[in-house]
Structure 1
Amino acid sequence: MDSHDHGLAHDLTTLLNTSPNRRQLLRWLSAGGATALSVMACGGGSTTASSTTTSTSTTSGTTSGTSTGTSTGTGTGTSTSCAVIPEETAGPYPGDGSNSSTNGIANALLLSGIVRSDIRASIAGASGVAAGVPLTIKLQVVNTKSSCAVLSGYAVYLWHCNRDGLYSMYSAGVTGENYLRGVQETDSSGNVTFTTIFPGCYDGRIPHVHFEIYPSLAKANSASNKINTSQFTFPMATLNEAYQSTGYSASVTNLAKISYATDNVFSDGTSLQMVSVTGSAALGYVVTLTVGVSV
């Protein structure tokens, strides 16, 4: 009955498994609990390869980041970031077979050609192409249960709205399209890359990108197989710069009415979900993020 005398690692695990405390604890750890973080997230084990992450400021006020790692196979290599990314809602427009649109069950994961890096065009008979500021998304998936080892052979399904704030397969006017959705398999360093456009800001949400993690490409065909669902966002300076571009005028108005603090997803913190950015609206952006999962 008494659970108070099992040590720090046990207490941290218990807190993390208690939903209301989980993200608060992660933010405390990020703020200064380095020793506790090593016990909880990295297991205190030795690493088999090294990775470095650097950040610098750009003239536009965004941050740039570079994450590198090495690997000899699934679950090898390490990353300097080692905390589980918060679990978030997939929202009403996931296209992963878990709900319906006006055309019936919406499952982009079953479409021919959905495994792709460039997600700007529709596929499987649809012909639309999403216009907007070029954006390259680079994610690295790591295992917080195994000394932050990179995870190769996993699958990432990623989706987001177009520059008008509309979601393909669901929103009026684009229900027949399936652009801005795609699946990639993590390489030997746990990395995936997507070529897309900068998402718009629709009323009521801070701009964001959704993604789900699957244990393999073969299992990335239904939401029932996913092991993690989350979202990431962008620095405010990047948002303000991007939305000066043609086609994003509505985003300027919508962004002025929302903040990270009032957003229903990011109001409890963005430290694990804020991408690093290089580039510009004129040349296109490249964003990077390390995604920690517990497997």
Structure 2
Amino acid sequence: MERKHFLKSLLVGAVSAPALLSACGKDEVTPDTSGATTTGGTTGTTGSGSCAAAPTETEGPFPTKQPASYVRSDIRDGKAGHLLTANITITNTNNGCAALAGALVDIWHCDAEGNYSEYGGTGMQSTNYQSVHFLRGRQTTGANGLVTFTSIFPGWYSGRATHIHVHVYSASGQSLKVTQIAFPEGTGSAVAAVNGYAKGLTGYTANAQDNVFSDGVSLELASVTGNTTSGFQLSISLGVPA
């Protein structure tokens, strides 16, 4: 489904489940002219050095409506869930994947029940959270390219694996990359430990079957450590052409 048609469907009410899954799928994008690898695989040649660019993924269907309004590191807004500290490093694939300072990094993800703020009251998400802004935030990378967010471990919803959305802009506001962060799965993983919160994992869509991640997550898979008692720590490095 083209994004403009999907957004139009939000205005007219309920959207069918197949429409939601289509909207959550990969966007058709113009290949990165730098020559970056933008899908599965472990390496890609881009810019002046050899390094990997994060794949471009869909921003919808629940992007932050006014991202510049939520400059903050703690994005919980009182939402309950297991503590998650997310350390995201942004590198410049046009400069040998050197750390990219001064980049604007927006993240957003669903709550423990699988709901997003700023949306709802439709067939796609029955709970109405249009007037709140939990689990959304923006930070600016330091000299080491790093931003850190305090959040909760994301829940899940039908058709999608556990994930976090990321949109990276230049210091001047130019969009550099829209991508998503995937989580390790299986025995001993944080996904297994959290076990879908109260929902459990019955009906959960694994990375391999997810319509965003099924072509490979090697460039989007975070390292996640910790436990449900003291919280989890997520770390990932994402390359963008700047």
TM-score (norm 2): 0.77
- Structure 1 position 283, deviation (Å): 1.0
Residue 213 of structure 1 is matched in structure 2 by: 168
- Match among 47, 51, 55 for residue 82 of structure 1: 51
Measured at CA, do residues 166 and 139 of structure 1 come closer, stay the same or move farther in structure 2, by a change above 3 Å? same
> Aligned partners of 1:82, 1:242: CA distance in 2, in Å?
33
SS of equivalent to 2:144: coil
Percent identity reads 37
Higher helix share: 1
The answer to whether the 8 A contact 2:103-2:170 is kept is yes
Measured at CA, do residues 83 and 18 of structure 1 come closer, stay the same or move farther in structure 2, by a change above 3 Å? closer
* Aligned residue runs from structure 1 range 1-295, under 5 A: 23=38, 27=41, 30=42, 37=44, 40-41=45-46, 43-44=48-49, 82-95=51-64, 107-111=65-69, 114-121=70-77, 129-171=78-120, 172-216=127-171, 219=173, 225-236=174-185, 237-243=189-195, 248-255=197-204, 258-295=205-242
Q: Which moved more, 1:147-156 or 1:168-177?
A: 168-177
The answer to whether the 8 A contact 2:38-2:56 is kept is no
Q: RMSD between aligned alpha carbons?
A: 2.3
- Structure 1 position 110, deviation (Å): 4.5
**What is the letter of the counterpart of residue 236 of structure 2?**
L
> Aligned partners of 1:154, 1:227: CA distance in 2, in Å?
9
TM-score (norm 1): 0.64
The answer to whether the 8 A contact 2:90-2:100 is kept is yes
SS of equivalent to 2:201: helix
Gaps of 5+ in 1: 1-14, 45-80, 96-106, 122-128, 220-224
The answer to whether the 8 A contact 2:190-2:225 is kept is no
> Aligned partners of 1:148, 1:18: CA distance in 2, in Å?
13
> Aligned partners of 2:223, 2:112: CA distance in 1, in Å?
20
